[in-house]
Each structure stands twice: as C-alpha cells, then as structure tokens.
Amino acid sequence: MTLRLLKLAKDSAVKSRTQAINQLKAVLVGADPALRESLAGLGRATLVRRCAELPDRPAATEPGAGVAGTVVFTLRLLARRIQHLSAEVKDLTKRITDVIAAHAPQLLERRGVGPDSVPATAAALLITAGDNPERLRNEASFAALCGASPIEASSGKTQRHRLNRGGDRQANSALYHIALTRLRCDPRTRDYVDRRTAEGKTQREALRCLKRYIAREIYNLIRPTQATTAPTSPPLAA
C-alpha cells in the first residue's frame, strides 16, 4: 500500500509537471519578441530557470497592466511551479527507492529495473505482485498477471499464439520498457532476439518471448522462496 500511494503521488506530480511545461512553452509563443528571442534555443532546465528568474512586475496582474507584463508574470509563475514539482518528483523517487530497497533490493541491481525508470518499473511490478499474493502460485501466474503469457491461437496445422491483452497493463508496460532497455544496452539480449527472429519470428513476437522470460526472472527475485524449476532462460542482463 505504501508503494502504491507513493507511486500514485509521483505519477500525479510528473503529469502536472508535463502539463506546466507545455503551458509555459505555449505562453512563450505569445511573448514579446525580444523576450522570446532571449529564451530561444535553451534546454528545458535552463529555460525553466531563466523564466523563474524573470523580474517581478507587481502591476502585471492589475487591470490595464498590458499583455507583456501578464506574459512575464505567467511565465515566472509556471516556471516556479515546474521547479516545485521537479523537487517533489525527486523526493518521491527517493522514497520509492527506499521502500523497494527495504523489500526487494535485488530488483534495483537488475538492468532496466529501477524506481526512476519509465514507467517506474520496479514499483509497478512490486505493486502487481503485492495486490495479488493469493494468485502467485508460480512464475506462470505472475506472467499472466502481467499480461506476458502467450495465449494459444492455433488452428488446424497452424501453430501460433496471440498477444495477451489481459493482466495489469502498467506491469506489462514495465516489462516492455525493461526489454527495450536491455536491447539497447546488453549484447546477450540482442543476440537472443536476433536468434528468435532468425527462427522466423517477427520482432514483436521476439519481444513478447523476451518479456515472458523477464517476467520469470522478476518473479524469482520477488518470490525467491516460491520459485519453481523453469526451463533455461536466455542469458539476460543482470
């Protein structure tokens, strides 16, 4: 419950920050040309800092103050809101890390799994497992909860499996992002996907196989005492 509440608060702060950033950029379009040019080409962090440091104009919000003064006031207000939300996200990320480190520190040691990765993969997977303890009989049950278990769709002599659209979609998204991170960073994972595609599978099908193996790996880290003997997994990144 603690992890769920912290993740809920962080997701809300991230969403609000993204909205404020988009609003700041939209307001900047209508700013005075001289001000707009002085802020052109800046990175996001520098742009926010510069807008937050714009000089105060007490009359900006008063009737008849003019559009230019109101634009400066709005830019400064939005920039300071973004800074506040960024500090909030940073604090919540640290709290989430502390909770994960207390309950499943081994997750933080795995490539692509962490409290600040998108979409907070470790937290999403732990929440899914914690919400369904009675259903986690084995690693196959966990894969099904994450929507990473293949569904039989064979017909006649055609043997195939279709995409599982059930399960917790946030956990499924977490597995997907772990797979993408490892594809970028880990040669062994790339070799595995290349081998599966060489066997005739599409890139998407190979990724689904990879997600299934990652689900097994995560289950054995979350519930090591209940881990069952499973087929040999591909050499994924630690």
Residues 151 and 201 occupy one common structural domain:
yes
Q: Model confidence over 131-163: pLDDT tens digits?
A: 766 677 888 888 888 888 877 666 776 666 666
pLDDT of residue 224: 55
Contacts of 134 (CB under 8 A, 6+ apart): none
More confident residue, 109 or 193: 193
Residues 93 and 42 occupy one common structural domain:
yes
Task: Note whether residue 237 is domain-resident.
Answer: no
- The CA–CA distances, whole Å, from 118 to 5, 65, 171, 209 equal 17, 43, 11, 21
Q: Model confidence over 24-57: pLDDT tens digits?
A: 999 999 888 888 899 988 899 999 999 999 887 6
Closest CA relative to residue 160, chosen from 215, 201, 203: 201
How many domains does the chain contain in total? 2
Residues 58 and 9 occupy one common structural domain:
yes
- The CA–CA distances, whole Å, from 189 to 9, 21, 34 equal 33, 36, 51
Question: Which band of pLDDT confidence, cut at 50, 70 and 90, is reported for residue 123?
Answer: confident
Question: Which band of pLDDT confidence, cut at 50, 70 and 90, is reported for residue 231?
Answer: very low
Q: Which of 102, 118, 145 is the last residue of a domain?
A: 102
Please give the average per-residue pLDDT across 103-125, as a whole number: 75
What is the pTM for the complete model shown?
0.74
pLDDT of residue 232: 46
CA distance 220 to 4: 21
CA 23 to chain centre: 22
Residue type, 62: E
Judge residue 137's burial from the number of C-beta atoms within 10 Å of its C-beta, 0-12 exposed, 13-18 middle, 19 or more buried: exposed
